[in-house]
Amino acid sequence: MGSHAEWRKIAKKQRRKRIRTFQAIERDKVMLTDFYIEQQELELKLLLEQITKQNDEENEKWMRAELIANTRWKRLLEEKERHKQKCLEQEAKLKLEWELEQKEKAMEEERIKAAQEALKIKQECFMNSLDKFLSGDSDEPPSELKVMHETRPDADICPFFSKTASCRFGDQCSRNHQYPGISKVLLGTNFYVHFGLSNANVNEYDTDIMLEYDENDTYKEFDDFFYDVLSEFEKFGRITQFKVCNNYEKHLRGNTYVEFYELRSAVAAYRSLHTRWYGGRQLSLQFCLINSWRSAICGLQLQRRCPKGRACNFLHVFRNPNNLFNGYNDDVQDKSRSSRSSRRSWRWSESPETDVLKRIVSSRSERSNNTTTATDKRRRRSRHSDDGDKHQRRRSPRRSDRR
Ligand SMILES: [Zn+2]
Ligand SMILES: [Zn+2]
């Protein structure tokens, strides 16, 4: 029996042990759950904290980027605005400049137009004065024709212009150029045109030497020109000097000077021939003062010793055919002769150019029984001496298309 009680004792002990163990397990279970939850909560909290921190960082980064972008945008806008302003200013400036330019252009055009108008009126007045002088009986030209035009009245007289009526500087010359209202000498500027004169390679002495030979084509050309022009000018009165330049310099090249015995003849010739056409070129005549042919013509050129050569500012002239007007007629410039006038021949009315010319021609033919022109004389001489040989002159083909 003792053993049963002992077994029971052990059994109870074992049961208690089992209960204790179970209880302990249960207790552990509870404790483990609490710990797990605690752990979980802690982890969650940590995670939340981490997320919040990350969010804050991201937010801050974004804010910074936003700020930078905003600043950039603002700057860009400002830049754009500045550029626009600049463009507008530039545009306004250009517009203003254009307007100013247009205004100046209009003013300049107005000025040119007014100047042209004034010149036209002046020219018309001048032509009317010429006609008045030609139509009247008075030997004395009207006072308005005696007015001398001066380019620089305060400056010294230009030594070249005063001698040759031509200056390489034109009216831009710093010295004074004096233009007479009218005069006995007419100048056709650059009137005679020849390839030898416009060709830079041709030496002026060669041109001169070539002209010595009648057979030479060059001389024949000048010969034709000489008689064509002389006969045309002679219709208006007696000619006392006729010089054609063979200078190379442009302001003297081909210049043709015709001096009349009477002032009236020069005026009539100017009135009729100025702006007329010869050989396809329009003739531009001007009145000029040549006080002494000896001073105007380069003396050394005649001896072919001019040291200035092409650069010479004095007249180098062609040798006229048949020795016509070949000297200096300075002694002919006797002023008392100008008082002699053929009033009957010059009694013209204020009629058109052609009428004036017709009257002159008819008046000259009236006198033709008594007087002979230099051309007539020369031509007669030429006929007698050459008698139809190579020097026989034919009428120039240029004459027909002159007008
Ligand atoms: Zn000058
Ligand atoms: Zn010279």
Q: What is the DSSP string of 2-70?
A: HHHHHHHHHHHHHHHHHHHHHHHHHHHHHHHHHHHHHHHHHHHHHHHHHHHHHHHHHHHHHHHHHHHHH
Measure the CA–CA gap between 181 and 122, rounded to whole angstroms. Answer: 12
Is the sign of the CA dihedral 68, 74, 76, 82 positive or negative? Answer: negative
Segment 59-69 shows an average pLDDT of 95
The closest ligand to the CA of 313 turns out to be: 2
> How many whole angstroms from 152 Cα to the centroid of ligand 1?
10
Measure the CA–CA gap between 47 and 39, rounded to whole angstroms. Answer: 12
Measure the CA–CA gap between 375 and 322, rounded to whole angstroms. Answer: 10
Q: State yes or no: pLDDT of 154 exceeds 60.
A: yes
Q: What is the pLDDT of residue 199?
A: 59
- Better pLDDT: 396 or 185: 185
**Predicted confidence band of residue 385 (pLDDT cuts 50, 70, 90):** very low
> How many whole angstroms from 167 Cα to the centroid of ligand 1?
5
- List the structure tokens of 273: 């021939």
Q: What is the pLDDT of residue 200?
A: 47
Per-chain mean pLDDT for the chain = 79
Q: State yes or no: pLDDT of 379 exceeds 60.
A: no
- Better pLDDT: 130 or 85: 85
SS (H, E, C) 314-360: CECECCCHHHCCCCCCHHHCCHHHHHCCCHHHHCCCCCCHHHHHHHH
> How many whole angstroms from 366 Cα to the centroid of ligand 2?
43
Least confident of 94-108, 168-182, 359-373: 359-373
**Predicted confidence band of residue 43 (pLDDT cuts 50, 70, 90):** very high
Q: State yes or no: pLDDT of 144 exceeds 70.
A: yes
For ligand 2, a single-atom ion, which residues have Cβ within 5 Å? 298, 301, 306, 308, 312
> How many whole angstroms from 351 Cα to the centroid of ligand 1?
37
**Predicted confidence band of residue 378 (pLDDT cuts 50, 70, 90):** low
The residues, ordered by sequence, that sit 6+ positions from 319 with a Cβ below 8 Å of its Cβ are 208, 211, 212, 326
> How many whole angstroms from 168 Cα to the centroid of ligand 1?
7
DSSP single-letter state for residue 170? G
Q: State yes or no: pLDDT of 111 exceeds 90.
A: yes
**Predicted confidence band of residue 365 (pLDDT cuts 50, 70, 90):** very low
On whether the CB atoms of residues 255 and 245 are closer than 8 A, the answer is yes
The residues, ordered by sequence, that sit 6+ positions from 266 with a Cβ below 8 Å of its Cβ are 182, 183, 184, 185, 186, 236, 237, 258, 259, 260, 287
**Predicted confidence band of residue 352 (pLDDT cuts 50, 70, 90):** very low
By percentage, how much of the chain surpasses pLDDT 70?
75
**Predicted confidence band of residue 371 (pLDDT cuts 50, 70, 90):** very low
Q: State yes or no: pLDDT of 42 exceeds 60.
A: yes
> How many whole angstroms from 255 Cα to the centroid of ligand 2?
15
CB atoms near residue 373 (< 10 Å)? 18
Q: State yes or no: pLDDT of 3 exceeds 60.
A: yes
On whether the CB atoms of residues 260 and 240 are closer than 8 A, the answer is yes
Q: What is the pLDDT of residue 1?
A: 57
The closest ligand to the CA of 171 turns out to be: 1
The closest ligand to the CA of 310 turns out to be: 2
Q: What is the pLDDT of residue 219?
A: 77
Q: Which residues pair with 150 in a beta bridge?
A: 178
> How many whole angstroms from 306 Cα to the centroid of ligand 2?
4
| Rg of the chain (C-alpha set) | 56
Q: What is the pLDDT of residue 239?
A: 95
pLDDT in tens, 292-328: 999 999 988 877 788 887 778 999 998 898 888 887 7
Q: What is the pLDDT of residue 375?
A: 52
> How many whole angstroms from 160 Cα to the centroid of ligand 1?
6
The closest ligand to the CA of 156 turns out to be: 1
Q: State yes or no: pLDDT of 341 exceeds 80.
A: no
Q: What is the pLDDT of residue 197?
A: 66
Apex CA 66: angle with CA 65 and CA 68, to 5°? 65
> How many whole angstroms from 246 Cα to the centroid of ligand 1?
20
Segment 77-94 shows an average pLDDT of 96
Q: What is the pLDDT of residue 109?
A: 95
pLDDT in tens, 254-297: 999 999 999 999 999 999 999 888 888 888 999 999 999 999 99
Measure the CA–CA gap between 1 and 187, rounded to whole angstroms. Answer: 183
